[in-house]
Amino acid sequence: MQEEYLLRIKDVCKSFSGVKVLKNVCLNVRAGTVHSLMGENGAGKSTLMKCLFGIYRQDEGQFYLNNEEFNFQDPKNALEHGVSMVHQELNQVVQRTIIDNIWLGRYPVKRIFVDEKKMYDDTKALFERLNIHLDPRTRLDKLSVSQRQMVEIAKAVSYDAKIIVLDEPTSSLTDNEVKKLFDIINVLKTEGVGVVYISHKMEEIFEISDEVTVLRDGNYIGTEKIEDLTMEKIVNMMVGRDLEERFPPKINVPGEVHMTVKNLTTKYPPIIHNVNFELHRGEILGVAGLVGAGRTEMVEALFGARTLRSGEILIDGKKIDNSNPHKAINNHFALLTEERRETGIYPVADITFNSTISNVQAYKNKLGFLVDQKMKDDTDKQIGNMRIKTPNRKELIRSLSGGNQQKVIIGRWLLTNPDILLLDEPTRGIDVGAKFEIYQLIIDLAKRGKSVIMVSSEMPELLGITNRIMVMSNGYVSGIVNTDETTQTEIFNMSAKFLNNNREAEV
């Protein structure tokens, strides 16, 4: 019955550049429930939610809130009518305080002045309600990404929203922070809020969802109650086929030592201390650790993006100078960064620019001019090889889904023909089908003799495709283990080894 639904989305269609990305999509959300929206990258999930939130205007179809039809003109209009959305990529004023970010654009006024006390009191009350332990006067640039994510969720709740859309809300959260988020969601459910939850993490879907709707290639595939679903059934609905194995077979065989890292220590906080390890040719070396362990800082130091206090890098026994990224690229290194939007893409440039920017020298003729046709040919080749969903190479990269943006960046680095690939969370925000493709690509590169260092927060991923795992704890290497001989428990114990005792690490 229609009246039992808080939100109804009926037969929504949307096209970009003549390509239909939503085709008669439907979604019904009950009050006090979590309705998960799933599908591969490019399936249309975020586009549908942006139509709901007033960022895009649908070509066809209707939206109903409490059985009243609406079409929000912009996000402000949506927020005023009780629909909030927390985007995967955070849009915040990091130079301002938590209070400013939550009440931006709607400061309470007392006479002619901003009522600072009311903002503070309301923020404290909001945080107490959601069990968030942060000082409202803290500037956002002093917070971790996960804490900033919590602030954004609190902001969405502050609008007294009837519908809250969470787009990949746990992509930057630790397990404990995910639990805290789920506690917040359960509070919202008891208050009658409808939550639309977008995630690629199957374990989360089964833990938090009441119902699941699946999209595939812009089409509505179906809606099921969570108790009627299995992981295999969801994957089949998403990709249109069974994925019998979650990870491809590890057909790469590590060879001789390719890179040796000795006593790598960074100069500025957060600091990594005396990092030592060897990387073999054709090896996939995983890097595990808790948030703040120094994993990202380590790969950035290898790539010359962080200043070293001491240490050296040897390739085939010969010391090299990776004191800046340009030199690292010339030494055949490539770095796929964790924060795709901030440090990975050029959002207002097209796919051709984003694909070829790291390899510009290869496209110059004898006179020093760029050869456009070669750039176009290489871009088209990568679009095909990486199975990037886009109307054409001229599309702005910001219009692609997160997973397709990631594929463009990986393709960009492959055009430089690197020998050592540094991959920082390479499958973050990527669906299960695309993950398998990325895993296969990484293994194939290792089989061809490339050496790969892969940072990941997903333990099954590390255990599934790596040959060895290096564990970091509080800036130190706490151990290196063979993947086939270790367990999640052992890795977790090593991750916590130096959390409270730096002196032990120095021994």
Classify the C-alpha dihedral 380-384-390-392 as positive or negative. positive
Q: Residue 298: which H helix or E strand, with range?
A: helix 295-302
Query: How many residues make up the chain in this entry?
Result: 507
Query: What is residue 11's predicted lDDT score, i.e. its pLDDT?
Result: 95
Q: Which domains does the chain have, with CATH numbers?
A: 2-239 (3.40.50.300), 252-332+418-507 (3.40.50.300), 347-417 (no CATH)
- Give per-residue pLDDT as tens, 313-334: 999 999 999 999 999 999 999 9
Query: What is residue 166's predicted lDDT score, i.e. its pLDDT?
Result: 92
Query: What is residue 90's predicted lDDT score, i.e. its pLDDT?
Result: 76
Closest CA to 248 of 436, 466, 452, 432: 436
Note if the pTM is more than 0.75. no
- Whole-angstrom Cα distance, residue 294 to residue 165? 32
| Ordered per-residue pLDDT tens for the chain, 507 residues | 445 899 999 999 998 767 788 999 999 999 999 999 998 767 888 889 999 999 999 999 999 999 999 988 898 899 988 899 988 777 788 899 999 999 988 888 988 898 999 999 999 999 998 888 899 999 998 887 778 888 988 998 899 889 999 988 887 677 777 888 898 899 899 999 999 999 878 888 999 999 999 998 889 999 999 999 988 888 888 877 655 577 899 999 999 999 999 999 999 888 999 999 999 999 999 999 887 789 999 999 999 999 999 999 999 999 999 999 999 999 999 999 887 777 778 888 999 999 999 888 889 988 889 889 999 999 999 898 888 888 889 999 988 877 788 889 888 988 888 999 999 988 876 766 778 888 988 999 999 999 999 999 888 889 999 999 999 999 999 999 999 999 888 998 898 888 765 433 332
- Whole-angstrom Cα distance, residue 392 to residue 17? 9
What is the CA 403 to chain-centroid distance, rounded?
Answer: 8
Closest CA to 467 of 255, 260, 259, 296: 255
- Tokens for 272, please give them: 């990594």
Count Cα neighbours of 184 within 13 Å in the Cβ-side half-sphere.
29
* Number of neighbouring beta carbons within 10 Å of residue 57: 12
- Tokens for 101, please give them: 């970010």
Query: What is residue 242's predicted lDDT score, i.e. its pLDDT?
Result: 57
Q: What are the helix (H) ranges across 140-247? A: 145-158, 175-190, 202-208, 231-239
Go through 427-461 and write b for each residue having 16 or more CB atoms within 10 A of its CB, e for each that does not: bbbbbbbbbbbbbebbbebbeeebbbbbbbbebeb
Coil/strand/helix, residue 225: strand
Count Cα neighbours of 76 within 13 Å in the Cβ-side half-sphere.
4
- Tokens for 217, please give them: 């290639």
Query: What is residue 176's predicted lDDT score, i.e. its pLDDT?
Result: 76
